[in-house]
C-alpha cells in the first residue's frame, strides 16, 4: 500500500514535469544554449573536457531533452544514446541527431527512475555504457529518490566509467539575499519546527524574530516562472535545489570513486543586481568561471557531480 501511494506520487510529479516541458521541444536549445540573452552554457565545455579526458567509446544522456548536449558532441568519436521523459523532447532529439547520423533507435522515451529505461530500445542488445550524463533532471526528482537515480546510473555504466550529474546549488541561496535565502535559513539551518521543550512565550518571541529576519531579504524575488501555453511553469512543478556536500556523499555511497564537485554559472553579485549593469555583470561573472574554485559553493548557481564507477 505504501509503495503504491509512493508510486502514484512519483507518477504525478513526472506527469507534471513532462507537461511542463511539453511545448519546449523545438525552442529549448535555442533559448537556453544559443540565445544572446541566456547565460552562456559554460557547463557544456566542462562536459566536453571531462569526456575528452576519459576517452569513452559511448555515452548515455539520461534526460537528454532535445539532445541539447548530445548534438554538441558530434565531433567526438563516441556512440551517442539518450532518453527523456517528455515525448516532444524525444521527437526533437531524434530529428536533430538523425541529421548527424545517429540512428533514431538510439533515442527513446523513459524515466531516470525506471530501470528499464536504461536498457534502450528492444533490439536484443542490452547496452552498458562507458560514460553517462544526467543534466536538468535532478531538480525534478523527489528527495527520497536521489539515491535511486545515482544507483541506476552506476549499474548501467561499465566499471571505470565516467558519470556526470548536474544539480542546482542549494548553498547559492546564502548569497542571493532573496526568498530562497530566508527559506534556507529557516528550514535548513534554524529549523524551528524541530525545537522542543520551549514555552509558548519563547515560541512567540522567536516567531517575531523570524519575521524581523525575513524583512532583511527580498521576498518578492526571484519572479515565479510560469508556463507558456497552459502547461505548468518551472517553478510550478517540483524543482529542487541540492546541497553539494550531501549530494557528493550520496554519489560516493552509490558506488562512485574519485568524486568531485564542479561548479558553474557564477554570479559576481547577488542576481538582483544584474539589472544595474547587465553587460558588466555577465562579463565579470564569466571571468569567475572555475569549476574548482571554493567560492563556487556559494556564488555558483549550479554544480556537476563527477564520479568514476568503482
- Rounded mean pLDDT, 66-78: 95
Q: 266 and 150, same structural domain?
A: yes
Enclosing domain of residue 275: 2-174+223-309
Reported confidence tier of residue 227, pLDDT bands at 50, 70, 90: confident
Q: 238 and 204, same structural domain?
A: no
Q: 209 and 233, same structural domain?
A: no
Structural contact between residues 126 and 57, judged by C-beta atoms closer than 8 angstroms: no
Q: 191 and 144, same structural domain?
A: no
Q: 273 and 140, same structural domain?
A: yes
Q: 187 and 63, same structural domain?
A: no
Q: Model-level pTM? A: 0.94
Q: 73 and 46, same structural domain?
A: yes
pLDDT tens string 265-286: 999 999 999 999 999 999 999 9
Q: 184 and 294, same structural domain?
A: no
CATH classification at residue 258: 3.40.50.150
- pLDDT value of residue 119: 85
Q: 96 and 164, same structural domain?
A: yes
- Domain count of the fold of the chain: 2
Q: 276 and 189, same structural domain?
A: no
Q: 304 and 166, same structural domain?
A: yes
What percent of the chain stands above pLDDT 90? 84
Helix pair 244-253, 146-155: axis angle to 10 deg = 40
Which of these three, 214, 239, 274, is where a domain ends? 214
Q: 186 and 157, same structural domain?
A: no
- Rounded mean pLDDT, 170-188: 97
Hey, what's the cell of 305? 557531480
Which of these three, 158, 187, 214, is where a domain ends? 214
- pLDDT value of residue 1: 38
Amino acid at each position: 500500500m505504501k509503495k503504491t501511494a509512493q508510486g502514484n506520487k512519483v507518477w504525478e510529479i513526472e506527469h507534471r514535469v513532462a507537461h511542463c516541458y511539453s511545448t519546449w521541444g523545438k525552442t529549448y536549445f535555442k533559448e537556453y544554449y544559443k540565445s544572446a540573452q541566456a547565460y552562456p552554457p559554460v557547463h557544456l565545455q566542462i562536459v566536453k573536457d571531462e569526456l575528452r579526458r576519459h576517452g569513452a567509446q559511448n555515452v548515455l544522456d539520461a534526460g537528454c531533452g532535445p539532445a541539447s548536449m548530445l548534438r554538441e558532441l558530434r565531433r567526438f568519436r563516441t556512440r551517442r544514446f539518450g532518453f527523456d521523459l517528455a515525448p516532444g523532447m524525444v521527437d526533437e532529439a531524434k530529428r536533430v541527431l538523425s541529421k548527424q547520423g545517429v540512428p533514431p533507435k538510439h533515442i527513446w522515451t523513459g524515466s531516470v527512475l525506471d530501470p528499464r529505461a536504461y536498457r534502450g530500445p528492444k533490439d536484443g542488445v542490452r547496452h552498458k555504457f562507458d560514460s553517462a550524463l544526467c543534466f536538468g533532471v535532478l531538480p525534478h526528482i523527489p528527495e527520497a529518490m536521489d539515491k535511486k537515480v545515482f544507483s541506476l546510473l552506476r549499474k548501467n555504466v561499465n566499471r571505470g566509467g565516467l558519470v556526470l550529474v548536474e544539480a542546482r546549488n542549494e548553498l547559492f541561496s546564502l548569497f542571493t539575499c532573496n526568498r530562497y535565502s530566508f527559506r534556507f535559513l529557516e528550514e535548513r539551518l534554524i529549523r524551528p519546527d524541530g525545537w522542543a521543550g520551549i514555552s509558548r512565550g519563547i515560541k512567540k518571541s522567536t516567531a517575531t524574530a523570524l519575521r524581523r529576519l525575513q524583512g532583511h531579504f527580498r521576498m518578492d524575488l526571484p519572479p515565479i516562472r510560469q508556463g507558456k501555453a497552459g502547461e505548468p511553469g518551472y517553478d510550478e512543478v517540483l524543482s529542487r535545489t541540492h546541497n553539494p556536500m550531501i549530494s557528493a556523499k550520496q554519489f560516493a555511497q552509490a558506488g562512485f570513486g574519485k568524486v568531485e564537485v564542479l561548479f558553474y554559472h557564477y554570479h559576481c553579485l547577488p542576481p538582483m543586481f544584474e539589472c544595474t549593469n547587465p553587460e558588466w555583470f555577465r562579463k565579470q561573472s564569466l571571468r569567475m568561471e572555475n569549476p574548482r574554485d571554493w567560492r563556487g559553493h556559494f556564488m555558483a548557481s549550479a554544480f556537476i557531480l563527477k564520479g568514476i564507477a568503482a
